[in-house]
Chain A
Amino acid sequence: MAEKHITVASEDDTARIASALAEHLRAGDVVLLDGALAAGKTTFTRALVRAMGCDEAVTSPTYTIANIYETPKGPLLHVDAYRLKGAQEFYHLGLEDYLETGISVIEWGERIEGYFDAPLSIRIGFGEEETARVLTLTSDAPRWTQVLEALA
């Protein structure tokens, strides 16, 4: 299993990591984001959407469960799985098309991780300072081994 820990000092730093990751993303990729409330899951997603060249307002998907951003690099599906009880409910949302044709970013992704074949998991933890965060990136899938090595 590939694993990488990255400590970031600020939101801008997080955005740089997200941009670097965005370079490697392609249609069909699934990124699961976990971490406590207010850890910065939506902030991370916003940085990904920006890095993919889309200026649309990226707001929390907690109430709508899923938002879709049409970026120049293809659609980005932004899901909040907090209110889903499991993979079965995710299936009922009818979002499979986007999983294939776009890049999917799923907050509280651990709740439905069994649904995906080769996801990248990113856990965001609080750091020492107010704005610091520790990002832990892990995956079992070979798809992500080199990507994790490439990230600074």
Chain B
Amino acid sequence: MSGLILGIETSCDDTSVALVDRAGHVAAIRTVSQFEIHEAFGGVYPELASRAHLEAILPTVQGVMEEASVTPADLTAIGVTRGPGLIGSLLVGLSTAEALSMAWDVPAYGVNHLRGHIRSVALESGRTEFPAVIMLVSGGHTLIAELKDAWSYRLLGSTRDDSVGESYDKVARMLGLGMPGGPAIDKAAKAGQPVLRLPRPMKNEAYEFSFSGLKSSVARHIEKHPEVSVEDMSASFVAACMDVLAAKADRALDACKPRSLVIVGGVAASPQLRDAMGKVAAKHGVELCLPPMKWATDNAAMIAMATWDYVERGLQPGLMPKPNLSLETP
């Protein structure tokens, strides 16, 4: 199958559109963050409203089509995130895809955002040795899955409450470190020592995660000891998170005996996480695969890449938004 797929991703704050061929080559990608829109319009537009997606979506589609000198006749399909995500934001992407599909006579496919993260490893000649274990650690998600090949996967576990990225952001808020919380915590942690005793929620249980209790412990500690060193608290919090994430990865590598360990999601930028996962991978003699951050965080190229699977397998789950969509459903 030749041609390109137009991918559209509007599940959260960014409006992203990309053109990707079957081999994973990205012909063009544009991502507009709502923060930029907000700035450009002098702060008139609400940061989070689906309206910001609405303002950005068509110019962004037009932008990538022009940049790659592509016409609708070059498109094999349109792929758009149908969930999980914020309903109003998803709707903007989905209705745009539906309208373009009708106007251009190109089929449109609703795609699972989490499936996009899993397929992101194939972008731009990224190679994964299968079978693999993949960990998605971001603001919106925390999960671990086994990939038997590019298509077949099995969810091992996900978070019961907060994602790891979210707990970073919230602890950063408690410590007055500002946003984005991840890099701020990582930086403070490097200057501190992990001397405070914090829990390791669910560390000894199979593959489920829970970060809410850890967040509560940090809150209670700060309440009782307001003088606590921000650096030591950051270091202790990061140590607790890494301990749990490494334990889950270690267990998965033991059980699945994969050839590689893939880490995606915004938290994959954390030097502490890269270090911890490097050790786990080395212990098992598997390859650690860290895709470039532009593909490891939310983007439309991964959605377009995943759409090729839907096209080839004739999967058509429809264009209705599914805010709570899980990995098991296409």
Residues of A at the B interface (CB closer than 8 Å) are 36-40, 42-43, 46, 56-60, 62-69, 83-85, 88-89, 92-95, 126, 130
Contact status B212-A38, CB under 8 Å:
yes
Query: Apart from A42-B162, A60-B212, A94-B88, what are 20 other A-B pairs with CB-CB below 8 Å?
Result: A37-B174, A37-B219, A38-B212, A38-B216, A38-B220, A56-B324, A57-B160, A58-B161, A62-B166, A63-B12, A63-B140, A66-B323, A67-B323, A83-B47, A92-B48, A92-B49, A93-B49, A94-B50, A94-B87, A126-B223
Q: Which bracket fits the contact residues of B?
A: 35 or more
Chain B nearest CB, measured from A15 CB (Å): 14
B86 at the interface (CB under 8 A from A): yes
Expressed in whole angstroms, the Cα–Cα distance for A85 and B48 within the complex equals 9
Contact status B50-A92, CB under 8 Å:
yes
Chain A nearest CB, measured from B223 CB (Å): 6
Can you list 5 A-B contacts (CB < 8 A)? A37-B173, A56-B324, A93-B87, A94-B50, A95-B87
Chain A nearest CB, measured from B224 CB (Å): 10
Given A68-B323, A93-B88; A83-B139 close (CB under 8 Å): no
B218 at the interface (CB under 8 A from A): yes
- Which 9 residue pairs of A and B lie closest in terms of their CB atoms, listed nearest first? A92-B49, A38-B219, A63-B140, A38-B216, A89-B46, A94-B88, A60-B162, A38-B215, A93-B88
Residues of B at the A interface (CB closer than 8 Å) are 12, 46-51, 84-88, 91, 139-140, 158-163, 165-166, 169-170, 173-174, 212, 215-216, 218-220, 223, 323-324
Chain B nearest CB, measured from A83 CB (Å): 6
